[in-house]
Amino acid sequence: MADEKIPSSPDMDMEAVRTGSDDIEKEAYRRGSGAPEKVLKHANDADEAMKAFEGHEGEAIVIDEATNKRLLGKIDLNIMPLLCVVYGLNYLDKTTLSYASVMGIKADIKLRGDDYQWLGSMFYFGYLAWEYPTNRLLQRLPLAKYSSFCIIMWGLVLCCMAAVQNYSGAIAVRFFLGVFEAAVTPGFALFTSQWYTKKEQGTRIGIWFSFNGFAQIFGGLVAYGIAKGAAKYGAAIAPWRIVFLVTGLLTSAVGCIFLAIVPDNQLNTRWLSKDDRRLAVERVRVNQQGIGNKHFKSYQLKEALTDPLTWAFVFYALTADIPNGGISNFFSQLIVSFGYTAEQSLLYGTPGGVVEIVSLIACGYLGDRFGNRLIISSSGLFIAILGMALIVGLPITNDGGRLAGYYLTQASPTMFVCLLSLIATNVAGYTKKTTVAALYLIGYCAGNIIGPQTFRPKDAPRYVPAEITIICCNCACLVDVAFIWWYCNRQNKKKAAFRARPGYMKLENQEWLDLTDRENPEFVYTL
């Protein structure tokens, strides 16, 4: 009925879409009137953001440009530095194994045959096993507190790597390291979508993900310094054990700081006044996503599993991370294969981090600036393909050219980060978002498990089959990106046509009803 009354108070029963249909024409607005189709029985089934507006029903909130800049500055100052540092440590903790591979770990714990490859992959078995459960916990438990627990625990687990004496002990530690690190990337994507508008998210995710590059620089310099110091002055324990202790203890210390400063959401933020908390929620209303919902909704799970966009994301993560898994664990050995010493490989790997930093920040900023993250971020894939082609095509005597090719491959994460930002931006409904994030990172795990296996000992020192595999995977990723662009653009046109229907009416506080991207006609996909 076109004149049906729509409840707007958070104290009243609210109505919202619950169809999860494939077609805009079957969305939950009967006859285009805006009248909802099903009734939510409890107001608290909506988003947490509703709590910010209790007692303020009907009150218009206008945020001027000066206030918005002031709030954004506070949010950036208190959240971004910790997201950046922790994400850098997340990468550093994974790559310490690569540094250790040229510092004596293979001989000390008696690795044989393909043992090292399986150590590289075992981290991702732990990550894979716990990825979906940890996403459910990120939804059910306080976001910042659970994230802090995982950070502290993965630091302590990494310290245990310094005590391993054999292959089986190392395998166990690597598995549990993956378990605790599984919460980081999906959790940080949730933080970003919770605190920042769509136009701000690509840049912020690019910035905190770019700290992978800073970690590569920092880790290489630390490992090089420890190796040189131990050679000159001696050490009570093996240098590679010191590397694990330093990075592990540093991670746990930062986890404690994260627990003290980062809030679970805007509503319990100590560094914002009560009024500013409500404004911080209001400024992200434009996202049409809310700030969190602890209720598991089975229809959103079903929609996630039947959405073509979900599987396009998963395909990309799987295919792109076969190269990532190989290079992350073998880059030190790859540089040695170019003709450099083990110590030089620790130092010469650091410029690759600079390439990653510049490409991620530039693509993140330009993607938000020009409103087209997909096309701009795809440039990183083209650069990475060129880099690997140089490694394969140049003669083995051309050490400098092949090393430059390795540096160019470090631009490849731009598209992975772009799609991670699109999960934060383009997937709405909290259960759906956490499900898609989990599936995306399950694909990431599978790719990283496969990746080290492509670097077979019998192919050393050139590893040509692995290098050709990397080129093929990156080319397949470009095709997948083209599909994602086409699909999102098509859905935007359908939604625009639906909103243009005579009698269409937007629900009051529709942004806080925890609707999915497909059931909300107001939702616009970012390209």
Q: At what angle do helices 373-393 and 464-499 cross, to 10 degrees?
A: 170
Q: In this structure, what DSSP letter does residue 28 have? A: S
Instruction: For residue 38, list its beta bridge partners.
Output: 16
Pairing of strands 38-39, 15-16: antiparallel
Calpha distance 1→27 (Å, rounded): 15
Decide: helix, strand or coil at residue 38.
strand
Q: Environment class of residue 28 by beta-carbon count within 10 Å: exposed (0-12), middle (13-18) or buried (19+)?
A: buried
Q: What is the mean pLDDT of residues 6-16?
A: 33
Percent of the chain with pLDDT over 90: 52
pLDDT number for residue 172: 95
Q: What is the mean pLDDT of residues 326-351?
A: 80
pLDDT number for residue 36: 43
Q: Residues near 65 by Cβ (< 8 Å), separated by ≥ 6?
A: none
Q: Environment class of residue 447 by beta-carbon count within 10 Å: exposed (0-12), middle (13-18) or buried (19+)?
A: buried
Q: Would you list the DSSP string of 136-153?
A: HHHHHS-HHHHHHHHHHH
Candidates 3.40.190.10, 1.20.140.10, 1.20.1250.20, 1.10.10.60; CATH matching 65-496: 1.20.1250.20
Neighbours of 485 (CB within 10 A): 17
The most confident of 56-60, 61-65, 470-474, by mean pLDDT: 470-474
Token pair for 456 = 């077979």
Calpha distance 52→49 (Å, rounded): 6
Q: In this structure, what DSSP letter does residue 507 have? A: P
Q: Is the distance from CB of 328 to CB of 98 less than 8 angstroms? A: yes
Calpha distance 221→339 (Å, rounded): 20
Instruction: For residue 15, list its beta bridge partners.
Output: 39
Calpha distance 214→92 (Å, rounded): 9
Tell me which amino acid residue 208 is. W
Q: Which of 223, 215, 214 is nearest to 346 (CA)?
A: 223
Q: Is the distance from CB of 88 to CB of 215 less than 8 angstroms? A: yes
Give yes or no for residue 22 having a pLDDT over 60: no
Calpha distance 319→341 (Å, rounded): 31
CA dihedral sign, ordered 293, 138, 524, 308: negative
pLDDT number for residue 54: 62
pLDDT tens readout for residues 221-280:
888 888 888 888 888 889 899 989 999 999 999 999 999 999 998 888 999 998 899 899
- When mean pLDDT is compared across 191-205, 399-413, 442-456, 486-500, the lowest value belongs to 442-456
CA distances from 237 to 22, 105, 107, 240, 249 (A): 60, 12, 14, 8, 16
pLDDT number for residue 227: 84
Q: Is the distance from CB of 221 to CB of 70 less than 8 angstroms? A: no
Decide: helix, strand or coil at residue 16.
strand
Q: Would you list the DSSP string of 64-98?
A: -HHHHHHHHHHHHHHHHHHHHHHHHHHHHHHHHHH
Phi, then psi, of 39 in degrees rounded to 5: -110, 130
Enumerate long-range contacts of 104-110, CB under 8 Å, 24 or more apart: 104/238, 104/239, 104/240, 105/238, 105/240, 108/238, 108/240, 109/164, 109/165, 109/166, 109/167, 109/169, 109/170, 110/166, 110/167
Q: Is the distance from CB of 40 to CB of 10 less than 8 angstroms? A: no
Neighbours of 469 (CB within 10 A): 19
Q: In this structure, what DSSP letter does residue 273 have? A: -
User: Domain locations in the chain?
Assistant: 65-496
Give yes or no for residue 306 having a pLDDT over 80: yes
Give yes or no for residue 61 having a pLDDT over 80: no
Q: What is the mean pLDDT of residues 466-478?
A: 93
Calpha distance 419→422 (Å, rounded): 5
Q: At what angle do helices 65-101 and 198-233 cross, to 10 degrees?
A: 30
- Indicate the average pLDDT of the chain: 85
Assessment of whether the complete model's pTM goes beyond 0.85:
no
Token pair for 210 = 């770019």
In the Cβ-directed half-sphere of 12, how many Cα atoms lie within 13 Å? 12
Give yes or no for residue 120 having a pLDDT over 90: no
pLDDT number for residue 121: 82
Provide the pLDDT confidence category of residue 45 given band limits of 50, 70 and 90: low
Q: Environment class of residue 354 by beta-carbon count within 10 Å: exposed (0-12), middle (13-18) or buried (19+)?
A: middle
Instruction: For residue 16, list its beta bridge partners.
Output: 38
